Amino acid sequence: MGTDEDEVIKILGHRSKEQITKIDHEYRVQSSGGNSLYHALKHELSGSFGDLAISLATPTVELKRMHLQAAVEGLGTRESTLIDVFTQSSNHEIQEIVKDAQLYQHILSDISGDFKAAILGVIKGERPSSDISDDEAAKLAGEFYKAGEGKIGTDENKYIKILTSHSLAAVKRIDKHYQAKHKHSLEKAIKSETSGDLQDILVALTRTPAEYFASRLHRAISGLGTNERIVNFVFGLLSKHELHEAGKIYKAKYKESLEDAIKGDTSFNYKKLLIELLK
């Protein structure tokens, strides 16, 4: 009989994860075979539109786990995916994800060096949630400077320890003191002192989810073609409020609205659903 894709867009484009979970429960009750909404969408839809719909219908922790599993399949690991998940998840989410012992071991066996040390700092899911005092922040800003820009060479372990053992609120306070003393941000210091995947994960640890995912979306959309895997993950993960916050940062930083960027780089039902999610 076919699928009313406009109705799918209307429903998924204006429902939270919690609401979609309730819809899924009712769908299972009413379905003759007890099938889930996830399996129905997977069966009825295809392409980028289907992938996005499935991301929206997948609970947050499971979506992040799937993102990780796709990253470690085959030869090598997409380190950017590890950064997406482990720097932008709550302690509870991380602890739930790493209950998959096989996935946990696969991740750790495929990375090394300072990047692995940084991942080990966050994969425990024990990053504090509390802020720190201005005196403590000023002290840590001084330690951060001495570990990098204030010496020859860089003490990467000190960078990792400071950023992985303090909350985002604390890191933002440290950054405020660093800027006051050295006239530029922790991010600029990190970029001048480190490189590659280590740089990426340390920078990510200084950013709010909205700041981080605005940057990820720009990287996914700009240039030739669109990295739909990243777009689907971000849109499937963030709430409408979080997408709006990311959109504000996107426009301020890149001088183009996220909606216009999406319109210029996508098409058909895929574009319709993305735009609906931004409303």
pLDDT greater than 90 at residue 113: yes
> What is the DSSP code string of the chain?
----HHHHHHHHTT--HHHHHHHHHHHHHHSTT---HHHHHHHH--HHHHHHHHHHHS-HHHHHHHHHHHHHSSSS--HHHHHHHHSSS-HHHHHHHTT-HHHHHHHHHT--HHHHHHHHHHHTS--------HHHHHHHHHHHHHHTTTSSS--HHHHHHHHHSS-HHHHHHHHHHHHHHHSS-HHHHHHHH--HHHHHHHHHTTS-HHHHHHHHHHHHHSSSS--HHHHHHHHHHS-HHHHHHHHHHHHHHHSS-HHHHHHHH--HHHHHHHHHHH-
- Residue ranges covered by each domain of the chain: 5-57, 134-206, 209-278
| Secondary-structure class of domain 134-206 per CATH | mainly alpha
Stretch 182-186: mean pLDDT, rounded?
Answer: 98
Proportion of the chain above pLDDT 90, given as a percent: 94
134-206 and 5-57 share a CATH fold? yes
pLDDT-based confidence at residue 32 (cuts at 50, 70, 90): confident
Domain 5-57 has CATH 1.10.220.10: yes
State yes or no: pLDDT of 74 exceeds 80: no
Residue 177 has pLDDT above 90, yes or no: yes
37: pLDDT confidence band, cut at 50, 70 and 90? very high
Q: What is the mean pLDDT of residues 222-242?
A: 95
Query: pLDDT per residue over 214-226, tens digit each?
Result: 999 999 999 888 9
Question: Per-residue pLDDT averaged across 196-223, rounded?
Answer: 97
What's the confidence (pLDDT) of residue 76? 72
Mean pLDDT of all residues in 165-181:
98
From the candidate CATH numbers 3.40.50.2300, 2.60.120.1440, 1.10.220.10, 3.30.56.10, the one assigned to the domain spanning 209-278: 1.10.220.10
Task: Please tell me the predicted confidence (pLDDT) of residue 180.
Answer: 98
**pLDDT grade for 2, boundaries at 50, 70 and 90:** low
128, pLDDT greater than 60:
yes
What pLDDT band is residue 53 in, cutting at 50, 70 and 90?
A: very high
